Amino acid sequence: MKKLVAIVAVAGLLVAGGASVAVAAGPGQGGRGHGGIRAAGQAAAATIGVSTEELRTQIRGGKTVAQIATEHGVDPSTVVNAIVTALTQKIDEKAAAGTVDANRAAQAKQKLPDVANRFVNETRPRREHRVLKDAVQAAAKEIGVSTNDLKDAHKNGKSIAQVAQDHGKSADDVVDAVVKAATADVDQAVKDGKLDAQKADQIKKNLPDRAKELVNREPKQGSASTPGTQ
C-alpha cells in the first residue's frame, strides 16, 4: 500500500505540486513510488511532444507543465488525461499483481484526476524543494543531529521519529519544528507573490498532518527515498 500511496501522493508531503521536484531531478533520483512519478512525467512529455529531459529542463527553469504544454500547442487538460491514464495503468498493475486490493485501488484511482491536475498546473520545483529541504533541516536541528546524519539514518531504515527517540527527543516537538519551518516558507512564497493567500491558508491548514507523515514515515531498509536529498 505504501507504494500505491506514494504514486497517488506523488511525493508532495508538504505542499501540492511537489511531485515535479522528482521529475526535475531526473531518473534514478527517487525512491519508492517514484515509478509513478516517472510514469506521469513520461506521459506528460510524450503528450506534449518533448523529451523527458527537455521537460525536466523547463521545469527546473520554473515553468509549470501546463505552460510547457501551451507553448507547444497542447491543451493542458489533454496532458492531465494522459497522466491519469498512465497512473491508472500503474495502479491496475499493482492490483493484478496482488500488491493492493481492489477497494484500495479504486480509492486511489478516484484521487488521480486531482493529482494529475496539480502535477500539471502547480509545478513550482524550486519552492517545493526548498520547503521540504527546510523541513528536514528543522527536524535535524530539533533532534540535535546534522542533516547528513538524519539522511543516513533514514537510508538505513529509520523514520525521523525513531531518530528523535534515539536522541531523547519528542516526535511531537519535531513535528512542531517542521510545521514552523514549512509555515515560514509558505508565508515567504505569499510575500514573494508566488502563492496566493487562499491557497497558502489551505496548505497551512494541512501542514500538521503532512508533517506527521514526514516525521513518522518509515522507509524500507536501504531505500533511496531519503527526505530532502536533492
Single out the residue in 63, 95, 123 at which a domain terminates: 123
Which pLDDT value is given to residue 159?
92
CB 30 within 8 A of CB 39: no
The position carrying cell 514515515 is 217
Cβ density class 36-45: b for 16+ within 10 Å, e for less:
bbbbbbbbbb
Single out the residue in 103, 123, 143 at which a domain terminates: 123
Chain-centroid distance, C-alpha 70: 24
In order along its 230 residues, the chain shows pLDDT tens digits of 443 333 333 333 333 334 443 444 344 333 344 567 788 889 999 999 999 989 988 887 778 899 999 999 999 999 999 999 999 998 898 889 888 788 888 888 888 898 888 889 875 544 555 667 788 899 999 999 999 899 888 888 899 999 999 999 999 999 999 999 989 888 887 887 777 788 788 888 888 988 998 899 877 544 444 454 44
Single out the residue in 100, 123, 146 at which a domain terminates: 123
Give the separation between CA 121 and CA 113, rounded to whole angstroms.
Answer: 12
Which pLDDT value is given to residue 162?
94
Q: State which residues form the domain around 87.
A: 2-123
Single pTM value for the model: 0.51
Which pLDDT value is given to residue 130?
64
Let me know whether 12 and 111 are in one domain.
yes
Let me know whether 115 and 192 are in one domain.
no
Give the separation between CA 138 and CA 48, rounded to whole angstroms.
Answer: 38
Let me know whether 14 and 101 are in one domain.
yes
Which pLDDT value is given to residue 9?
37
CB 99 within 8 A of CB 6: no
Give the separation between CA 118 and CA 75, rounded to whole angstroms.
Answer: 15
Q: How many domains does the chain have?
A: 2
Let me know whether 6 and 114 are in one domain.
yes
Which pLDDT value is given to residue 5?
36
Give the separation between CA 146 and CA 168, rounded to whole angstroms.
Answer: 15
Residues with Cβ within 8 Å of residue 96, at least 6 apart in sequence: none
Mark out the alpha helices in the chain (DSSP H runs).
2-9, 19-25, 34-48, 52-60, 65-71, 76-97, 102-121, 125-143, 147-155, 160-166, 171-191, 197-216
Which pLDDT value is given to residue 82?
96
Let me know whether 82 and 165 are in one domain.
no
Let me know whether 167 and 72 are in one domain.
no
Q: Which of 214, 228, 224 is nearest to 164 (CA)?
A: 214
